[in-house]
Amino acid sequence: MNKQIKSVQPSEPVKGFADRLIAWQACHGRHDLPWQQSREPYGVWLSEIMLQQTQVSSVIPYYMKFMVRFPDLASLAAASQDEVLACWSGLGYYSRARNLHRAAQEITEKYQGIFPDEYEDILALPGIGRSTAAAISAFSFGARRAILDGNVKRVLTRYFAVEGYPGNKAVETRLWQQAEALLPDDNIEIYTQSLMDLGATVCTRSRPRCESCPVSEACQAQQQDRQAELPHSRPRKALPEKGVAMLILVRDGEIFVEKRPPTGIWGGMWSFPEMTQDGDLGQVVPARFGIELGSVEALPVMQHVFTHFRLNIAPLLLNVARDLPRACQSHGIWLAIEDALDSAIPAPVRKLLHVLLKRKT
């Protein structure tokens, strides 16, 4: 059985918080999201992983497509990583898809394909953190566990007027304590959903609708008129910039892509070959790909922002004149643009492929 958080006598600031949210959720919460139609663990788990750092509106079409392609845990575990990444392509944060696939295989091997119901076992799966494990435990198994995703952090930071950036370890620890103190003794699934809904639809990052909030009377940010100030923003740091040239090799209407290493940026995905921006095309391309270059066209530079740096991409459109008389391209494949778009490709590559596709029409 799940070892759940023990109930304690609520202090004055938390009395009635859960009851108000549960009552509010019945009339004003979200009830028609596709993953709400069943509390089967597989669908809950998939939705929680997809919703990490991604808005609901963006997740819904990907969730629907993913469930059609992989309707259950067994089909996901049996698929190749390429198939999983291709279905995920465009949603971003691809380590989530790789971890999802690894977790499905681990559940198949370790739990005979049955999703574990113990919180500690769920937490130990690849790609699952404390809040995600708690959400799965609450929604699928009714476990009394606190969640603390980005929306919930914002709600609690405002409600208790918590100072400091929520990503700071000490601040986050305090928020976890508050989240656990607010847990009701029952109706945990409804309460968990209500907390998510409140953060997503009412206690929003900008222009919160305090007049519609069921707990606004006790909210310290509301009392102090500090809704716009809280939560505090991440301390600003200048993001370092990196540069790379992407080589778009074109031959007979097809483009050349190669698979990236399994770990790191865009791990396991198909992408255009890269070289340093100051590299010598005349030497690099024949030596590396066994081809003779024809025309070369520099496309507009693109910028892709990662969490810790900005990547400036200089795309070079390279038309192949002929193959050199030796073995080449053993590490990549030639694809029609339409077929490449159906593969597991990073967002910048997808944008460039659409540029090429538009040129063909």
Catalytic site positions: 48
Q: Cα–Cα distance between 357 and 297 in angstroms, integer? A: 16
CA–CA separation, 160 vs 206, rounded Å? 18
Rg of the chain's alpha carbons, rounded to an integer? 24
Are the beta carbons of 257 and 272 closer than 8 angstroms? yes
The candidate with the shortest Cα–Cα distance to 255, out of 320, 205, 191, is 320
Q: Is the peptide bond before 325 cis (omega within 30 degrees of 0)?
A: no
Three-state SS sequence of 121-166: HHHCCCCCCHHHHHHHHHHHHCCCCCCCCHHHHHHHHHHCCCCCCC
H-helix segments, 265-335: 281-289
Closest to 189 (Cα-Cα) out of 18, 69, 7, 1: 18
